[in-house]
Amino acid sequence: MPKSTRKRKHIAETEGPKQKVRPFDEKAAAEEEQLSQILFGGPTSFLKCLEEAEREPGTSGAASTDSGVGEDDGNESDSSGDRKPAWFDEDDDGIEVGQALASQRRKLPEGGINSKTNKYSKLLKNKFQAIVGTPKWAQLDKEKADSDSDEEILQTCGFVRKTSKANLPSSLLEFKKVKDLNCETYSEGPYINSIEFHPTSSVALVAGNSGIATLFAVDGRKNNKLHSIAFQRYPILNAKFIQNGNEAILGSRHSHIFSYDLVSAKPVRYNLPHGLTQCKKFVVSPDFKFMAVAGKWGEVHILTTNSKEGVAVLKQDGEVTALTFNPQGNLLFGHSDTGEVTVWDMNMRRVKHKFTDEGCLQGTTIDISSSNQFIATGSAQGVVNLYGLEDVLKNKIPKPRKSIFNLTTGISSLKFNSSSEVLALSSADIQNSVKLFHVGSGCVFSNFPNFESKMGHINALNFSPSSGYIAFGNRKSIVSLYRLKHFKNY
């Protein structure tokens, strides 16, 4: 066929011919306004919603027994501004935990939020808030210091908001006994060996001789159980968060350790390096990259937290009884059963300095303040020595700035709070044998613990990240929790 006579075939489109675009006239504007009214409502309904939200009342819980010093302020009230969700799915709300686990062929420990009759959406929400935390924009009860959007904008632009911080009074301590941290379980003991607070979320890990490690949501009112994991014939003697709180290391007297992933809720077993037969005493570096494990014959094994493989072995005279890193993580301090403290340079992996702990025949505990100013040592004779950190690094026989003789039996736990204002010390040999020491004044708080306290033999203690709470674990499966009112944040 000649090229000039060819005709292109017309292929019909399935959607029909295209329509011309109508210009945006008054009729279109009216239709859009009508659609907007249907979807979002008009200004009147919007204002009405705002008024209803403002009128929505809060709730307050009952106050518990406290120190009797001062009165509860607004931050201590258990108010909760519950609001209705913007979206509600009836299908999701109808699924229970038992149904979801059956369809996924999964199993979770019974009890608490994991109860089969609970809503599955509630379980997912609690797990997300516990691990990731609640975003600032979703928080109903915000701190006054963070409520001003202008100040937040200034901070993001490089400005630093100045806050007035009052020093901790040295006379009496304001505190309140709240619900036990593990009130929903009491199954981690009988000996509670480890209490760890999550570095970024209001979550605590409790572990003990039963081989059970449990995560709790810390609020002081309910302290809901989030998740539990049990290990057969594996008494947990030490537990620490690593990877910025996404993982936990669980140590025992065996030649292997378990790593517990908080997101996937799965444990992984790792064999310890050659020459290391147990993991009862270990500490994690501030950057979460390394862990130092006390071995036999004065050895300290350095492991990476990623692969759990050994990278170095340090040595000191005498058995290692306690370890701690300085805040920068470049120095490792080890106490011994001879009363001598060894300081290792973590960059060179060798001994940098040694000093004698005054009056100590056998060291038991050691801790360094987050301010990098103080170091405290505890002994089997019940004496705690408080030194200046610079003093011990310059002298082989340093003089303590303060020696604390308030406890008469061996010191089992020693811990500075986050502001370096309080030093907590306890002995597991006698019931209620605990003191909180005010570092600035050099005196213990006379009203803590009070006469009503029944804390038992304290086997472990720890402060929350901002010192809002302090927890004590005893030898009867109980973790007592106290709210320290001077510190406003968790």
> For the chain, what percent of residues have pLDDT higher than 90?
64
Q: How far is 219 from 75, CA to CA, in rounded Å?
A: 12
Q: Would you state the CATH architecture of domain 175-484?
A: 7 Propeller (2.130)
> Residue 6's pLDDT is what?
55
Indicate if the pLDDT at residue 72 is higher than 50.
Answer: no
336 phi and psi angles, rounded to 5 deg = -140, 170
pLDDT at residue number 69: 66
pLDDT of residue 409: 98
Does residue 401 register a pLDDT over 80?
Answer: yes
Mean confidence (pLDDT) of the chain: 83
- For the ranges 63-72, 151-160, 281-290, 411-420, the lowest mean pLDDT is seen at 151-160
Cross-strand bridge partners of residue 225: 216
- Note the pLDDT of residue 156: 35
Give me 342's structure tokens: 């060894």
Per-residue pLDDT at 46 exceeds 50 = no
pLDDT at 32: 56
Q: What is the pLDDT of residue 127?
A: 74
* pLDDT of 445 higher than 90: yes
Angstrom distance (rounded) from CA 461 to CA 393 = 27
pLDDT, tens digit (0-9, with 9 covering 90-100), for 118-158? 777 777 777 776 666 666 556 655 544 444 443 343 333 33
C-beta separation of 283 from 293 below 8 A:
no
Q: In the predicted model, is pLDDT for residue 350 greater than 90?
A: yes
| Chain Cα centroid distance, residue 293 | 22
Terminal alpha carbon distance of the chain: 87
Find tokens 């607070």 and name the residue. 197
Cα→Cα distances 207→146, 216, 217, 270, 301, Å: 34, 11, 15, 19, 23
Between 2 and 392, residue with greater pLDDT: 392
What pLDDT is recorded for position 250? Answer: 98
What separation in angstroms does the CA of 380 have from each of 48, 79, 430, 445, 468?
68, 45, 13, 23, 30
Residues 356 and 306: their CA atoms lie apart, in Å, by 35
Of the candidates 483, 481, 449, 451, the one whose C-alpha atom is nearest the C-alpha of residue 179 is 481
pTM exceeds cut of 0.75: no
Over residues 109-118, the pLDDT tens digits come to: 676 667 777 7
- pLDDT per residue as tens digits for the range 219-273: 999 999 999 999 999 999 999 999 999 999 999 999 999 999 998 889 999 999 9
Sign of CA dihedral 283, 266, 210, 215: positive
Pair of tokens at residue 400? 């303590």
Q: Phi and psi for 136 in degrees, rounded to 5?
A: -60, -40
Q: Is the pLDDT of residue 310 over 70?
A: yes
What average pLDDT does the segment 394-405 reach? 98
Residue 156: C-alpha distances to residues 48, 139, 149, 208, 293 (Å): 34, 19, 11, 43, 40
Sign of CA dihedral 385, 390, 391, 393: positive
What's the whole-number mean pLDDT along residues 182-191? Answer: 97
Whether residue 187 contacts residue 214, with contact meaning beta carbons closer than 8 Å, is answered with: yes
User: What per-residue confidence (pLDDT) applies to 105?
Assistant: 66
Q: Evaluate whether 305 touches 288 at the Cβ level (below 8 Å).
A: yes
Element containing residue 379 per DSSP (H, E): strand 374-379
Across 403-426, b (16+ Cβ under 10 Å) vs e yields ebeebeebbbbbbbbbbbbbbbbb
| Residue reference for tokens 């027994």 | 65
Which tokens sit at 332?
Answer: 């490792």
- Cis bond leading into 449, ω under 30°? yes
Residue 332 pLDDT level (bands cut at 50, 70, 90): very high
Residue position matching structure tokens 């303040």: 369
State the pLDDT confidence band at 466, using cuts at 50, 70 and 90: very high
Name the residue with tokens 């904008």. Answer: 153
Rg value, the chain, Cα: 29
Whether pLDDT at 316 is above 80: yes
- Boundaries of every domain in the chain: 94-134, 175-484
Q: What is the mean pLDDT of residues 320-341?
A: 98
Q: What b/e readout covers 451-483, taking b as 16+ CB neighbours within 10 angstroms?
A: eebebbbbbbbbbbbebbbbbbbbbebbbbbbb
Q: Identify the residue with better confidence: 343 or 68.
A: 343
Compute the average pLDDT of residues 85-95: 64
Write the burial class of residue 157 (CB in 10 Å: 0-12 exposed, 13-18 middle, 19+ buried). Answer: exposed
Residue carrying the six token digits 């406290």: 66
pLDDT digits (tens, 9 = 90+) for 356-369: 999 999 999 999 99
Mean pLDDT, residues 5-24: 50
Min mean pLDDT across 50-59, 213-222, 285-294, 455-464 is at 50-59
